[in-house]
Structure 1
């Protein structure tokens, strides 16, 4: 199995490690330290060696931060992790406070820290965060200093080694464009911006730009490395030497100079006198500090790889389509299992997650899960980011709902899909709420929109039916997705907060409205879809873009209140199910094939 259900961390970590950190702080003449969850690479998933917040506190959530002082420690975690933070920290050692209000910086600004010196690691936070931290420290009367060595790294006895997974070429048959051509395009963009070079700090951007993949973090095939690309298309790629093979050297060719990751600082210093673009949203303050100290002129601009990576080419769309079709077979087998064996009322969340993973394993090409499976029975389904553990494992009880959000990493694509099903008989409220969520999903799937539209403009479509019933959900409606890369990818998204990036052809985005009744059940319906090029509408005056679905697996037909759907919405459901059958039926047999036919029957 590729996932484990014993969550690491806990109060014992804080009890053991907090004194060690405080000893290091005293030795470095520091009164406190700001500890973010992020590591040097700002990835969603961190290697064990970079789980600094978890080491010092015991809290293993994916989002949070802390201040550790010689006499007190405060952990900040958002609403997803309120219970987990309380369970995993010792209340005698850590105060737990919420995000976003007041948040770590807001909290610090309200304190009296006159005369105290607070350290921060510039490799772990962005320039904008440094500015906010400095403002908060000033308000508190504290002195803020950047540390050359992280006190946690000094105190961490037996710290795991950094990952050393081989970096491998990613076949152009999947990538669609040779990396030399990508570098030439990046060089042209740099010239247009009057820049001599760009520093690519995001491992996902490095992977895409050089057509390489790695295995340094779970759930995402990333090589932890950096790159400098120059306006002439040449590049320097910084990787740990142990990850480099002759095959990789051949793949990269003469246009790319391979350098050890230990030479990154020297590589930045070589840019003295050059105009260099760096993205402040994905690069840490250390890059800006180092470049400015070297005498480079720094341009704060979006990572030039971000948009080309987001707008998938024909080969990437073809690959991810094939991956989704295979994934749909595994998911359909699982949904059949849920509708038969799992109706017993005895299956657990962990057993369900393992069963789904096993179905995916049956098909060659599954390299990893794209994220730990969200397997939420009953009240756990009401926690949008719930992660099952041996301590929380519930049974899929009769007359309840079960929500499962999962995905796979394949050489040709990355999947992410959510289905909600009834175990036993669903209540009228469950069916009503499922149908409201479905109406929002259909509205977003079917919309046509003009050039210049952002995800923020479309978000209301997925919420409209819920809003009219006085309901809503507190998460985004859609996130970008990579192709054998990150399951969460920018710069575009569909959500309430403003996003200035227009949606463009080739972008993949999720469509996942939901509804969550606290303590009872949760509902989410998620498909991935990609944006189609502008095309005319009969009788219209403006060419419009739209969405093409990638995810094919039956919806919970028994949860749909048909009378709540308009004729157009019923037509959409029937057309979707007809397409599901067309794609999947020939790949299935026996009871599962017969079940699919009934699951996709016309409503």
Structure 2
């Protein structure tokens, strides 16, 4: 099994650890300390050695932070985690709705002029620190860089990861790392930058066509890199991690020990580009003190990585068909077994992983499978453990959000299914969520449109019913890389224009706390849109669906749908049948034919 069900954090430890942190604050003359979720690479996913937020608070979500004063400890979480955080932290911690409540405002309400706030400059980006300073310094509050206080208290902290790196095939990437380095170096030359510091693991993985195993489920390498204007690169990693890929990297990629990264910054030319949204403040401070000119600009790998090559698109399309067949085998099994009342959430997770393993191509999951029965479905990022595991009971909804990592692609799919009789109100909500998903799937839009312009399409059917959901509508997805990939998103917050080759999730939802949760998710690809008779001669984009798995027709209220929505559903199911039927057999094939029948 890739997925484990152990309890990874215990809220009962929180109060004692909080007391110890406050004693350390007192001894160092600090009035507050910041404890972020991030590691020094600023990726979303962190290794066990970097789970500082979970160690202190018990909260295990993938986004959030804690601010500790002498009398209060606020745990800041967004809408995905507001149910979860209340079950994971002790009363000594106060959940704070973020980003509605800004950290600076929270601190200003609790601290007075002359007080000092400690932070680890490796765990906060340049932009984060500058925004805080701009708000706090005029009020007399000081931000003080310190050695990480959690690391000094965490006596049984796990070792840092040391998984070896591997080469990613050029045939799937569609471009050699030499060509990528030359292309990005040309961009640096165009902007007058002589070098660029890269700290995001997935950017380094993409640039050098390598993969790693330093965090669970996402094949990213923990490393730092500096790309120079001449297309050579310095790669900094723990000893031995790059030994197996020396020939792949070649002479133009120089490998150094990780401990040489900071000393190596001394030799960077002026100007060197740093991305203020992802580069740690520690790097910025080091260069500034030494008089090296810093150029601010976006990580130059982000957009090229997001624009998938034709080879990547072909590869991930095949991965999604393979994964779709595994999902159909799973859903057919689930439909036969769940109504009997003998399955638990863990049984479902194990069953699904088994069907993906049976492909003989699964390298890992792409995240912990979210399997929420009944009320657990309303916890957006619910992770079942031995302590929370519960039966999948008839008369409930079951939400299953899952994905696989294959060499040729990364998948992410959510299906919500009825187990026996449908709960009151669930079909209406499911149909509205489906209408939102269809609206995104059918969207045509001019070039230059960003995710924030499309997000409302998915919410509109819910808004008409006075409903909504507290997460984004979609995130970017890599190819055998991070399942959450930027910079593109379908979100009110995303101003990044969508471009051909970008892959996104399309996942509206609705959650009734204490009862059930609904989410429907396909992955979609941005591509050039064909012309429309009578339309303007204007460049347009649209989405191509990558995920082919039936929807639960038992939850669809056809009378609520428009003619075009019914046509879309029938066409989608016909597409599922055509693509997946040749890949399944027996009872799964019979189930598929029934599941894909026209409305």
Q: TM-score, normalised by structure 1?
A: 0.94
Equivalent residue in structure 1 for 2:367, among 366, 371, 374: 371
* Residues 1:502 and 2:497 are matched in the alignment: yes
Alignment partner, residue 107 of structure 1: 106
Q: Deviations over 1:235-262 (max 9, x none)?
A: 11111122121x3110000111111111
SS at match of 2:446: coil
* Residues 1:381 and 2:377 are matched in the alignment: yes
SS at match of 2:342: coil
Alignment partner, residue 522 of structure 1: 517
CA distance in 2, matches of 1:79, 1:581: 36
SS at match of 1:435: helix
Distance 1:547 1:100, change over 3 A: closer
The structural deviation recorded for 1:387 is 2.1
The structural deviation recorded for 1:139 is 6.3
**2:84 and 2:382 in contact (8 A); partners too:** no
CA distance in 2, matches of 1:112, 1:546: 50
* Residues 1:150 and 2:148 are matched in the alignment: yes
**2:164 and 2:212 in contact (8 A); partners too:** yes
**1:52 and 1:152 in contact (8 A); partners too:** yes
Equivalent residue in structure 2 for 1:470, among 466, 469, 482: 466
Alignment partner, residue 257 of structure 1: 254
SS at match of 1:243: coil
CA distance in 2, matches of 1:94, 1:599: 47
* Residues 1:162 and 2:160 are matched in the alignment: yes
SS at match of 2:240: helix
Alignment partner, residue 589 of structure 1: 585
* Residues 1:10 and 2:6 are matched in the alignment: no
**2:376 and 2:382 in contact (8 A); partners too:** yes
CA distance in 2, matches of 1:154, 1:365: 42
Equivalent residue in structure 1 for 2:311, among 306, 315, 328: 315
CA distance in 2, matches of 1:199, 1:592: 50
CA distance in 2, matches of 1:283, 1:451: 30
* Residues 1:294 and 2:294 are matched in the alignment: no
Equivalent residue in structure 2 for 1:177, among 175, 178, 184: 175
The structural deviation recorded for 1:137 is 4.3
SS at match of 1:505: coil
CA distance in 1, matches of 2:405, 2:118: 39
**1:511 and 1:527 in contact (8 A); partners too:** yes
The structural deviation recorded for 1:233 is 0.9
Equivalent residue in structure 1 for 2:532, among 533, 537, 547: 537
CA distance in 1, matches of 2:596, 2:4: 34
The structural deviation recorded for 1:563 is 2.4
* Residues 1:398 and 2:394 are matched in the alignment: yes
**2:272 and 2:293 in contact (8 A); partners too:** yes
The worse-fitting range, judged by mean Cα deviation, of 400-409 and 63-72 is 63-72
CA distance in 2, matches of 1:87, 1:512: 25
Alignment partner, residue 575 of structure 2: 579
Distance 1:447 1:15, change over 3 A: closer
* Residues 1:36 and 2:36 are matched in the alignment: yes
SS at match of 2:355: helix
CA distance in 2, matches of 1:97, 1:416: 29
**1:112 and 1:141 in contact (8 A); partners too:** no
The structural deviation recorded for 1:474 is 2.1
Q: What aligned pairs does 1:17-416 form with structure 2 within 5 A after superposition?
A: 17-69=17-69, 73-91=73-91, 93-135=92-134, 137-138=136-137, 141-147=140-146, 149-245=147-243, 247-272=244-269, 274-416=270-412
Distance 1:71 1:421, change over 3 A: closer
SS at match of 1:376: strand
Q: Deviations over 1:35-72 (max 9, x none)?
A: 11111112222111111122233332322222334565
Q: Deviations over 1:209-235 (max 9, x none)?
A: 000000000010010011111111111
**1:10 and 1:87 in contact (8 A); partners too:** no
The structural deviation recorded for 1:427 is 4.6
Distance 1:464 1:260, change over 3 A: same
**2:450 and 2:497 in contact (8 A); partners too:** yes
Distance 1:221 1:402, change over 3 A: same
CA distance in 1, matches of 2:78, 2:229: 42
* Residues 1:599 and 2:599 are matched in the alignment: no
Distance 1:368 1:503, change over 3 A: same
**1:537 and 1:544 in contact (8 A); partners too:** no
CA distance in 2, matches of 1:415, 1:278: 31
The structural deviation recorded for 1:566 is 2.5
Distance 1:77 1:445, change over 3 A: closer
**1:535 and 1:543 in contact (8 A); partners too:** no
**1:329 and 1:588 in contact (8 A); partners too:** yes
The structural deviation recorded for 1:177 is 0.4
CA distance in 2, matches of 1:544, 1:89: 48
SS at match of 2:414: strand
**2:410 and 2:479 in contact (8 A); partners too:** yes
Q: Deviations over 1:66-88 (max 9, x none)?
A: 23345654433345444544444
Q: TM-score, normalised by structure 2?
A: 0.95
The worse-fitting range, judged by mean Cα deviation, of 303-312 and 358-367 is 358-367
SS at match of 1:34: strand
Q: What aligned pairs does 1:565-576 form with structure 2 within 5 A after superposition?
A: 565-576=561-572
**1:271 and 1:294 in contact (8 A); partners too:** no
Q: Deviations over 1:3-61 (max 9, x none)?
A: 12222222343244345434544554444422111111122221111111222333323
SS at match of 1:283: coil
**2:397 and 2:423 in contact (8 A); partners too:** no
**1:530 and 1:547 in contact (8 A); partners too:** yes
The structural deviation recorded for 1:482 is 0.5
The worse-fitting range, judged by mean Cα deviation, of 321-330 and 73-82 is 73-82
Gaps of 5+ in 1: none
**2:80 and 2:470 in contact (8 A); partners too:** no
The structural deviation recorded for 1:513 is 1.5
